[in-house]
Amino acid sequence: MAKAKTYYFCQECGYQSSSWLGRCPECGKFGTFVEEVVQTVSPTKLLAGNEPVSVPKRIQEISYSETTRLSTRCGEFDRVLGGGIVPGSLLLLGGEPGIGKSTLLLQTALAMKEIRLLYVSGEESEQQIKMRADRIGAGGECYVVSETSTQRIFEHIDSVKPELLIVDSIQTIVSDAVDSPASSVSQIRQCTSEFQHYAKTTGTPVLLIGHITKDGTLAGPKVMEHIVDAVLQFEGDRNYGFRVLRALKNRFGSTAEIGIFEMQANGLREVPNPSEYLLSQRDENLSGAAIAATLEGARPMFIEVQSLVSSAVYGTPQRNANGFDMRRLSMLLAILEKRCGFKLGSKDVFLNIAGGIKVNDPAIDMAVACSILSSNVDIPIPPRACFAAELGLSGEVRPVSRVEQRISEADRLGFERIFISKYNAKNLDLKRFQIEVVPVSVIEEAFRALFA
Ligand code: TYD
Ligand code: MG
């Protein structure tokens, strides 16, 4: 028979130890060790078993039927998922409290009218869910139950037989199989694997909501992220209406795509053309504003960068960035000091990305640099100009990916000039565009073209 032995496992990284440890020597986390029973079976016994033996196949010989994805009836959501929900998949949606996770999934549940859907909430009562649904006011149909025990959830599943299961917050669900409180690592692990087992054996997709901790990582064991097929993150600045849905992991699609929503009084609304919203409507032309032609996934997104440069009042100049990496800002400031005579030491610099959106695309660099310079010399950048280039440490303007797509989007939005890297302009058929494309090789050139 199999020998049962207990080991202690770090619930964060999976480190195994024969005794309990306060601090994991592998990942350095405290209090993460949990005792688990491990069945050890000798290898000869394993081979003697009469389970079907898997045979390695040549990859050409393997066939599969093209799985039909379930559309969420929401273009932005589908885009992030890679075209819809794959049958039998287990998805995790994380986000800060109050960002709109429950709203997004309830709204999705109501929109997917044609399928039989069960929405399980461990956080809200059925009346509260109904109130939220009325507030969203989309109409629609789905089964709702307020429940925290997996055993009873599976009983409900047996009676409803849903085609999609949504569980509002894995942190509130408990399984009888584990004797620890809700949201403890072993509970989360157990419940996640129960839902995974259900999803894989029945082919029913399961969407789990997960909380995230202060430092922005998903609460609970890292193993949960390994179990699920996709980890989606819902983020945004709560003071702004914009919400961004991105995939941190996706087994069935790209992680580069993002979905953009706007939180309104009656729920979330899709924003298919973010550029038109993110460019603040301004009549007069003010210094310190520059437009960046960024790309998130396959989608161009035009973003306004605003900066304010003023003489430092205190000894140490202040630097502040909203929606932009501080270290990158310091680097850009150093480049500007070296190349454009910008007096770094005596100026306060404040930077803001309009709309409270975080941008990862390095093509925003040149817009940031030009917006700082514009505020510094107090000369506005011509209103219908935009920028798409990265800056290197010696002030060189570096090429960015898919520049043609950025140019044609700038053209479409009615821009008159776009500044790009000289290296990007090389193989470009500029006659195709109405917009004037300005290739620059170093940041001084852009500076002279704009303010000289
Ligand atoms: P919620 O979905 O409860 O967040 P989460 O589940 O991520 O904790 O969203 C809560 C916030 O959304 C709340 O502060 C109010 C706001 N909200 C709206 O602005 N409009 C709406 O129609 C709804 C339902 C919520
Ligand atoms: Mg919620």
Q: What is the pTM of this model?
A: 0.77
Give the lowest-confidence range in 163-167, 195-199, 249-253, 430-434. 430-434
Q: How confident is the model at residue 286 (pLDDT cuts 50, 70, 90)?
A: confident
User: Nearest 10 degrees: CA dihedral of 305, 373, 388, 334?
Assistant: -100
Instruction: Quote the tokens at residue 151.
Output: 């055993």
Among the bound ligands, the one closest to the CA of 124: 2
In the chain, the percentage of residues whose pLDDT exceeds 70 is 91
Report whether pLDDT(217) > 80.
Answer: no
Residue 3 three-state SS: strand
* Cα 96 to averaged position of ligand 2 atoms, centre (Å): 9
Instruction: Quote the tokens at residue 61.
Output: 């010989």
**Residue range 105-131: mean pLDDT, rounded:** 93
Give CA–CA dist 227/211, Å, rounded: 16
Report whether pLDDT(11) > 50.
Answer: yes
Residue 237 three-state SS: coil
In the chain, the percentage of residues whose pLDDT exceeds 90 is 47
Angle of helix 150-160 versus helix 185-202 axis, rounded to 10: 20
Give CA–CA dist 447/441, Å, rounded: 11
Highest mean pLDDT among 168-172, 257-261, 280-284: 168-172
* Cα 346 to averaged position of ligand 2 atoms, centre (Å): 46
pLDDT, averaged across the chain: 86
- Helix (H) or strand (E) segment spanning residue 135: helix 126-136
Q: What's the pLDDT score for residue 221?
A: 63
The CA distances from residue 164 to 88, 105, 142, 159, 176, in Å, are: 9, 12, 10, 14, 23
pLDDT in tens, 297-335: 778 889 999 999 998 877 788 999 988 999 999 999 999
* Cα 342 to averaged position of ligand 2 atoms, centre (Å): 47
Higher pLDDT, 195 or 218: 195
pLDDT in tens, 41-92: 454 554 455 555 788 889 888 876 666 889 999 999 999 998 899 999 999 9
**136 in ligand 1 pocket by Cβ < 6 Å?**
yes
Q: Provide the β-strand partners of residue 439.
A: 420
**Residue range 251-255: mean pLDDT, rounded:** 88
**102 in ligand 1 pocket by Cβ < 6 Å?**
yes
Ligand 1 atom 15 nearest Cα: 98
**Residue range 167-176: mean pLDDT, rounded:** 92
